[in-house]
Structure 1
Amino acid sequence: LQAAYEASLEAADLTLDRRNRLDAKITALAATDRYAPVVRALMCLRGISVLTAFGLAVEIGDWTRFTGSTIGAYLGLVPSEHSSGASRSQGGITKTGNTHARRLLVEAAWHHRRPYANASRDMRARWDAADEASRVRGHQGNHRLHRKWDQFEARHKRRVIANVAVA
């Protein structure tokens, strides 16, 4: 029993070491000139750290090809629709597009549920690394996304549905 425990503990330690090495490499790659501006701008939003921002930057690529209304459709975060004549019925999200980027946004959206009173020390450090325009947009976005959560809560929407809508 002790040998099995030690073998499992060693496997867990090796896995954590491997994860930490990969995180360090991804963080270094995110700081390169190619990704740094997008990563820093995305990190001004709550729930988006280096790994999430880098994942979104890599998965989405050229952000200029999207507007606020088209990126949701690209990622499959828009409701499906069944229309016939004058009737229009919306269903669940389409789930088309990039699964990884959609999952990253849905996970990040949970952070906007809590009230947004004061920015944490971590968030302030991220804002200091970003340019002024990204800082202002991030601050506005954090407020707007929390207000969205509040609106859904006031309408007694299920939390998982509200979270996808915020994403």
Structure 2
Amino acid sequence: MDVTCIGIDLAKQVFQIHGVDHHGKAVVKKQLRRGQMLSYFRKLAPTLIGMEACGSAHYWARELGEMGHDARLMSPQFVKPYVKSGKNDAHDAEAICEAVSRPSMRFVQVKSVEQQVMQAEHRIRARLIKARTALSNEIRGLLGEFGIVLPASLTRLRRAIPELLEDGENGLLSDFRRLLCLLGEELRKLDDNIKEYDARIAQRAREDERIQRLLRVEGIGPVVASALVSAVGNGKQFCKGRDMAAWLGLTPSQHSSGGKSQLGRISKRGDKYVRMLLIHGARAALKAAENKEDARSRWVTGLAKRRNKNIATVALANKNARIAWSILSREETYRTAV
């Protein structure tokens, strides 16, 4: 069978494939069950295979790549324009096959197993932090119904719970005290779980040479560095540092026409989790820069005075993203500006 390009519409159990020959004529249109996927593609000669970057896509790309196929992943938003009519699996597979053959198409780098494990740790940690925030807000809200108002601080909340349980004159009934005790125990368990994931991330940071080089940059700690490595790997899928900053949504959105350039706010595209971590790290670095006299610190503090601290924070996060690209893709070591 003369198949030069195949598009696969991924799913959990039923996969739709669409293959064309070197003339672009459709020669394969069929469905495969999950158990048939590997055996089917093992029989084919090495060919170009396109898939959308969605759930399980990196797994299938690795498996097909080991068979000698050229498996490429694409963002779904870049595939959508090639869907010719109503949405169904066959039309999606045809659109993927068409999109992957375009010479100007942008592809998503296939993640390694180690990257996905690291990314899973970050996702679980982020979920636990979100749950802890929700729980602390719930505790403060319930206490507010009894006239006890606590500040929005986890440290103050942890300290206040045992004090409230020991205070016999605050008007809290025994039933509510039992509830507060259970909520306090739940909060402690979430704290312990988050500390465990922080320790795992710190241990991985000590073992990964790429993360160690990133840690030299002001505003990039173990959590930020490991999240960057899990997201972009060696960063060689980007041609320059600005491309990675744009992928993270840290560059201005553009609406230019007729030779007139119009730049707006940052685009906020791409991986919002890594962008959030970079901005939080930049905010801490900006605060520390107030007591330093090196060129980098003078630049960011001067920008904060001319504009405002939020703009300076995002600008520093943008700069850190570009520096991280250079460190990862060129295997360089960060040198502090004098």
TM-score, structure 2 normalization: 0.38
Aligned equivalents of 1:49, 1:153: Cα separation in 2: 22
RMSD: 2.1
Q: Deviations over 1:92-119 (max 9, x none)?
A: 111112111111111111123233539x
Bigger fraction of residues in helix: 1
Count of residues in Structure 1 that have an aligned counterpart in Structure 2: 139
Which residue in 1 is equivalent to 2:282? 109
**Does 1:49 pair with 2:49?**
no
Amino acid at match of 1:70: D
Q: 5+ residue gaps in structure 2?
A: 1-175, 318-338
- CA 1:73–1:61 in structure 2 vs 1: closer, same or farther (change >3 Å)? same
Q: Where in structure 1 do 4 or more consecutive aligned residues deviate above 4 Å?
A: none
Q: Residue 63 of structure 1: SS of its match in structure 2?
A: coil
Percentage of pairs with the same residue: 28
Which of 300, 313, 328 is equivalent to 1:149?
300
Cα offset, 1:25, TM superposition: 2.1
Aligned equivalents of 1:144, 1:38: Cα separation in 2: 25
Which residue in 2 is equivalent to 1:79? 252
- CA 1:38–1:92 in structure 2 vs 1: closer, same or farther (change >3 Å)? same
Equivalent residues of 1:109, 1:163 under 8 A apart: yes
Amino acid at match of 2:191: L
Which of 206, 212, 221 is equivalent to 1:31?
206
Equivalent residues of 1:75, 1:98 under 8 A apart: yes
Q: Which has the larger radius of gyration?
A: 2
- CA 1:104–1:145 in structure 2 vs 1: closer, same or farther (change >3 Å)? farther
Cα offset, 1:49, TM superposition: 2.0
Cα offset, 1:47, TM superposition: 2.8
Which residue in 1 is equivalent to 2:308? 158
TM-score, structure 1 normalization: 0.72
| Larger relative contact order (CA 8 Å, sep ≥ 6) | 1
